[in-house]
Amino acid sequence: MNKKKQGFNPYLPSWEYTPDVEPYVFNNRVYTYGSHDRFNGYAYCLNDYVCWSAPEDDLSDWRYEGVILKATDVEGNADRDSCLYAPDVTQGPDGRYYLYYVDSKRSIVSVAVSDTPAGYYNFHGYVRYKDGTIYGTREGDEPQFDPAVLTEGDKTYLYTGFCGKGDKSRSGAWATVLDSDMLTIIEDPVIVAPSEPYSKGTGFEGFEFFEAPSIRKHNDTYYFVYSSISMHELCYATSKHPTKGFTYRGVIVSNCDLHIDTYKPANKPMFYGANNHGSIVCIKDQWYIFYHRHTNGTNYSRQACMEKITILPDGTIPQVEMTSCGSNNGPLRGSGEYATYIACNLFCDEESMYTDFTGAWMDNQFPKITQDGRDGDEEIGYIQNMKESATAGFKYFDFKDTKLVKIRTRGYAKGEFEVRTSWDGPVLGTIPIAFSNVWKDYDCNISIPDGVNSLYFTYRGSGSASFASFTLE
């Protein structure tokens, strides 16, 4: 049997929390840049910027490149009171790599530079007008947030913005043009996507700009990727010009799988979503969307995922499902042991599109992906609070002659796990479990149809179980 390493979602180790990812291919490697959450953190982006990379022909082989910028390197931030929000990187006309970022205490765009994609990045300056005024501080400027950059020739296009629903003080996503020094504005900022109060008649209604701008170019078309006012979805708009004429086109991915009707009703959430941030990239002639999901029952421990996408001849991108196999070249093998942190569906009878906004997490109403130990400990993730009706889904596997399913659980629980190949399909087998303070294995004989299928586990019984892994034989 082919035992080549497989790719999963999330594509990085389960103890790494790097959301807001901007992916790029430099020198035949895929580099990802994002903010850096903390496991069990109390706020967004508490850790330093790090970089991970993989060979473009093996997206299962990710390498930690180390810290590329410390929060304490931000001016006046020796006490780390200011966090490093979502960054972006571009290669300048001089061949060097430029990191654009906004820290949480100042609404201005900082720039750092490195000779290599993986850093270390050293402070270069602040984005500014020709007279030296820092962008974001001039009268009429709106606060800077989530910079995105694209360099063409001697010009770099910069996109920024954050616009909460109903906030009339924020107009939308702004675009401007920088000179070859990567700092100086040479064209006045303009709006490229409206905020919710200013969207009437624009075509963006219901999918207005919220945050997370990102910019890419495919052929002669610019793709502006962003998070809408619903937060959980990454939308896109296109134009033939980098700073004007953008038309709303659709949703690329939702981190609760809303709108998707291929395997469930379109309005049924299948994961606990919240804010989203990412972008598209072409790797070996295949396009991907990078995005993030939420873990640990909070907004503050996010992990990056990726899915294959298709750009159709008319420029549209059909929305894709969240999967467990996004970085794999096709479905996962229908044999072997799999950790449950790769679940792409997680829900129970009490539906929720969002993580902790309902307050329900405080009383353990919902199942959640978590880990033991502290931030930085290399502890493999698992699902906690598999209570009555809790369902974990995994997509997709290529099954062949699978006759036994084994699960590993622990906790104050007495009941059984039902096994299905669709979230609402017939039960193919049940696996009884019992109370245990340590991880224990349970199994059942089962006949899973050959071919590409999903796998769903639903707990029925008293108490709640932690669910570490399952094995297919």
Which of 309, 340, 355 terminates a domain? The answer is 309
Among all residues, which ones are annotated catalytic? Answer: 20, 211
Same domain assignment for residues 186 and 128: yes
Query: What was the pLDDT predicted at 289?
Result: 98
Tokens of 289: 């969307």
Q: What distance in Å separates the CA atoms of residue 440 and residue 456, rounded to the nearest whole number? A: 20
Residue 139 lies inside a defined structural domain of this protein? yes
Q: What distance in Å separates the CA atoms of residue 21 and residue 304, rounded to the nearest whole number? A: 7
Same domain assignment for residues 191 and 243: yes
Q: What is the CATH number of the domain that holds 396?
A: 2.60.120.260
pLDDT in tens, 129-139: 999 999 999 99
Q: Left (φ > 0), alpha (ψ -120 to 50) or beta: where does 197 sit?
A: alpha
Q: What is the CATH number of the domain that holds 39?
A: 2.115.10.20
Same domain assignment for residues 294 and 384: no
Residue 378 lies inside a defined structural domain of this protein? yes
Residue 141 lies inside a defined structural domain of this protein? yes
Same domain assignment for residues 301 and 337: no
Same domain assignment for residues 266 and 402: no
Which of 309, 342, 361 terminates a domain? The answer is 309
Q: What distance in Å separates the CA atoms of residue 446 and residue 470, rounded to the nearest whole number? A: 13
Residue 3 lies inside a defined structural domain of this protein? no
Same domain assignment for residues 441 and 342: yes
Query: What was the pLDDT predicted at 363?
Result: 53
233-239 and 345-347 beta bridge pairing: unpaired
Same domain assignment for residues 303 and 427: no
What count of other Cβ atoms lies within 10 Å of the Cβ of residue 167? 12
Same domain assignment for residues 249 and 360: no
Same domain assignment for residues 246 and 380: no
Same domain assignment for residues 183 and 71: yes
Query: What was the pLDDT predicted at 6?
Result: 98
Q: What is the pLDDT along the chain (473 residues), one digit of tens a residue?
A: 345 799 999 999 999 999 999 999 999 999 999 999 999 999 999 999 999 999 999 999 999 999 999 999 999 999 999 999 999 999 999 999 999 999 999 999 999 999 999 999 999 999 999 999 999 999 999 999 999 999 999 999 999 999 999 999 999 999 999 999 999 999 999 999 999 999 999 999 999 999 999 999 999 999 999 999 999 999 999 999 999 999 999 999 999 999 999 999 999 999 999 999 999 999 999 999 999 999 999 999 999 999 999 999 999 999 999 999 999 999 999 999 999 999 999 999 999 999 864 444 445 679 999 999 999 999 999 999 999 999 999 999 999 999 999 999 999 999 999 999 999 999 999 999 999 999 999 999 999 999 999 999 999 999 999 999 999 99
Residue 436: φ, ψ to 5°: -155, 140
Same domain assignment for residues 349 and 264: no
Average pLDDT, the chain: 96
Query: What was the pLDDT predicted at 425?
Result: 97
User: How many domains would you assign to the chain?
Assistant: 2
Asked whether 308 and 320 are in contact (CB, 8 A), the reply is yes
What is the CA 286 to chain-centroid distance, rounded?
A: 18
Domain extent, residue 28, equals: 22-309
Sequence-separated (6 or more) residues with CB below 8 Å from residue 74: 82, 84, 103, 110
Residue 12 lies inside a defined structural domain of this protein? no
Residue 71 lies inside a defined structural domain of this protein? yes
Residue 361: φ, ψ to 5°: -65, -25
Residue 16 lies inside a defined structural domain of this protein? no
Same domain assignment for residues 183 and 42: yes
Query: What was the pLDDT predicted at 82?
Result: 98
Query: What was the pLDDT predicted at 386?
Result: 97
Residue 167 lies inside a defined structural domain of this protein? yes
Q: Which amino acid is at 170?
A: R
